[in-house]
């Protein structure tokens, strides 16, 4: 008995010594990072806890509210797992109203949409645009509808407000990562432009084509120039500012590129879908305005999204803002009976308040972290990650987090802000939960990221 007691005592002392050593190393790493010139005027927040007992291992500025960028997705993801469930699926219903005469529907085809962000997405076979349009045609043929004299009507009965959250900036919303989420989404509400650059810096860039092909017929004011080779995608797309005005393309892409792709957000995905539907269905489907379609409404088919855990995988791995805003509206619909960003934020904050996150520690305007006005503490992030560890769906959530610098963590990046939050288990079995945020740095983002990694490397 005495021998067992001595062994346990030695193990406890060893753990305490290792813990103290880690505290010293983290403190030194933080001081070194803060002394670096790009961080001279920056705000920093860092918290590490032991994943087993929740005790603080190291803390610095953990209650300072900072812009979290995409690490904010952690709050949306976890709340959606709890409120919607791992197997939740969006449903989009196709029906018709009117009468079928000799294979012609004299009435309207009706799509009732509920905010599915995967409708037309290329990430799953069943959601691809071509497969959805094929299923659309097959559903009509089963009902022996060979033509249409009426309209294709898209309804979103439970959605209120706009698709773009308040706080998103003008530089973002014309680009693919700034695509808003509405009651009806199509192909992740984005399109591609294919560009060709000259061989010298400053030379003009030519707009070659688009995907889908009809997008290039829109008005584009192309002001993009060739930048230095290897400079990456620094081109931005801006929405038209009024009737008759053009989309504006500004910035640079690397010199010497023949097929360089940039992606924009669609201002009206329902119009995109209708245009593609017309092309898919052929000339027998003629649109005509009907004041009153005869007959009641008849269901044709229902499209289901992949389950939530599959959608969440892409949400976290690829940091798709559209998915976060769609999830936020889905939890609002579940809890409030109405889908809007405002209601979703209210549900999110109430959920986390109940789960132990102080209200002032989670001040957000959206579900994805794209707004630079969001403010979150590292304590709130760590509390959320600790909460998730005990849930039945934790394994699914854990594996949705990217592996970055050999750490399982979500990253965040917007202007002047970088962040990381996640989990790490050392070879000796000790597990940590951590979050680190830096705001208002100057100079190279890659240098700041490297400094942050140096701090996190001490957990390994």
Q: What's the mean per-residue pLDDT of the chain? A: 93
Residue 243 three-state SS:
coil
Residue 122: predicted pLDDT: 97
pLDDT at 280 over 90: no
3-state secondary structure of 155: strand
CA quadruple 239, 172, 72, 426: dihedral positive or negative?
A: positive
pLDDT tens-digit series, residues 252-277: 999 999 999 999 999 999 999 998 99
Phi, psi for 254 (deg, rounded to 5): -60, 150
pLDDT at position 39: 94
Residues 6+ apart with CB under 8 A from 53: none
CA 268 from chain center: how many Å? 19
* Alpha-carbon distances of 352 from 14, 222, 322, 377, 412, rounded to whole Å: 36, 45, 22, 13, 20
- Among the listed residues 454, 459, 380, 388, the one whose alpha carbon sits nearest the alpha carbon of residue 426: 459
Mean pLDDT confidence for 58-67? 98
Reference 63, options 316, 354, 351, 363; nearest CA is 363
The pTM of the full predicted model, rounded to 2 decimals, is: 0.93
Nearest-angstrom CA–CA distance, 340 and 331: 10
- Residue 165 CB-density burial (10 A; 0-12 exposed, 13-18 middle, 19+ buried): buried
Q: What is the pLDDT of residues 95-107, one digit of tens each?
A: 999 999 999 998 8
Contacts of 130 (CB under 8 A, 6+ apart): none
Angle at 219 between CA 213 and CA 220, to 5 degrees: 90
Which residues are bridge partners to 196 per DSSP?
206
431, 425 Cβ separation under 8 angstroms: yes
**Residue of 455, 458, 457 lying closest to 32 (CA atoms):** 455
Alpha-carbon gap, residue 194 to 263, rounded angstroms: 9
Residue 11 clears pLDDT 90, i.e. is over it: no
Angle at 229 between CA 226 and CA 233, to 5 degrees: 65
Using CA atoms, how far apart are residues 332 and 63, in angstroms rounded to an integer? 28
What's the gap between Cα 72 and its chain centre? 10
- pLDDT surpassing 80 at residue 228: yes
Determine the pLDDT at residue 150: 86
Domains and CATH numbers, the chain: 21-87+308-459 (3.40.710.10), 89-167+268-306 (3.50.80.20), 187-265 (no CATH)
- Interatomic CA distance for residues 321 and 332, integer angstroms: 17
- Which one, of 114, 121, 64, lies nearest residue 94 by Cα? 114
Reply yes or no on whether the pLDDT at 16 is more than 70.
Answer: no
Other beta carbons within 10 angstroms of residue 331's beta carbon come to 25
In which residue are the tokens 């789960």 written? Answer: 355
Q: What is the pLDDT of residues 322-356, one digit of tens each?
A: 999 999 999 999 999 999 999 999 999 999 999 99
């Amino acid at each position: 008995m005495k021998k067992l007691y001595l062994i346990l005592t030695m193990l406890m002392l060893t753990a305490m010594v290792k813990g103290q050593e880690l505290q010293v190393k983290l403190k030194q790493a933080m001081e070194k990072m803060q002394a670096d010139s790009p961080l001279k005027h920056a705000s920093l927040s860092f918290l590490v806890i032991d994943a087993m007992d929740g005790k603080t291992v190291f803390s610095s500025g953990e209650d300072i509210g900072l812009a979290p960028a995409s690490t904010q997705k952690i709050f949306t993801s976890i709340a959606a797992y709890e409120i919607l469930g791992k197997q939740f699926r969006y449903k989009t219903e196709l029906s018709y109203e009117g009468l079928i005469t000799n294979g012609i529907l004299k009435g309207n085809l009706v799509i009732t949409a509920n905010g599915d962000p995967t409708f037309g997405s290329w990430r799953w076979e069943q959601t691809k645009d071509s497969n959805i349009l094929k299923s659309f045609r097959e559903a009509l043929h089963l009902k022996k509808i060979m033509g249409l004299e009426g309209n294709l009507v898209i309804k979103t009965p439970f959605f209120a407000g706009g698709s773009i959250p308040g706080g998103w900036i003008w530089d973002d919303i014309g680009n693919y990562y700034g695509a808003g989420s509405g009651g009806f989404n199509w192909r992740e509400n984005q399109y591609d432009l294919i560009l060709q650059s000259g061989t010298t810096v400053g030379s003009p860039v030519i707009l070659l084509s688009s995907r889908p092909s009809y997008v290039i017929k829109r008005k584009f004011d192309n002001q993009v120039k060739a930048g230095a080779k290897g400079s990456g995608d620094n081109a931005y797309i801006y929405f038209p500012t009024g009737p008759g005005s053009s989309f504006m393309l500004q910035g640079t892409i690397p010199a010497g590129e023949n097929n360089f792709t940039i992606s924009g957000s669609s201002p009206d995905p329902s119009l995109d879908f209708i245009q593609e539907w017309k092309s898919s269905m052929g000339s027998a489907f003629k649109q005509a305005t009907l004041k009153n379609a005869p007959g009641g409404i008849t269901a044709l088919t229902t499209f289901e999204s992949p389950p939530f855990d599959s959608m969440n995988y892409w949400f976290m791995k690829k940091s798709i803002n559209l998915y976060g805003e769609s999830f936020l509206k889905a939890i609002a619909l579940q809890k409030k009976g109405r889908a809007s960003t405002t209601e979703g934020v209210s549900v999110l904050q109430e959920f986390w308040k109940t789960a132990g996150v102080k209200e002032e520690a989670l001040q957000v305007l959206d579900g994805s972290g794209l707004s630079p006005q969001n403010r979150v503490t590292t304590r709130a992030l760590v509390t959320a990650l600790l909460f998730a560890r005990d849930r039945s769906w934790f394994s699914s959530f854990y594996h949705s987090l990217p592996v970055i610098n050999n750490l399982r963590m979500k990253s965040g990046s917007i202007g002047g802000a970088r962040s990381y939050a996640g989990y790490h288990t050392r070879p000796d079995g000790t597990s940590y939960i951590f979050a680190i945020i830096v705001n208002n740095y100057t100079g190279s983002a890659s240098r700041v990221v490297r400094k942050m990694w140096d701090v996190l490397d001490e957990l390994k």
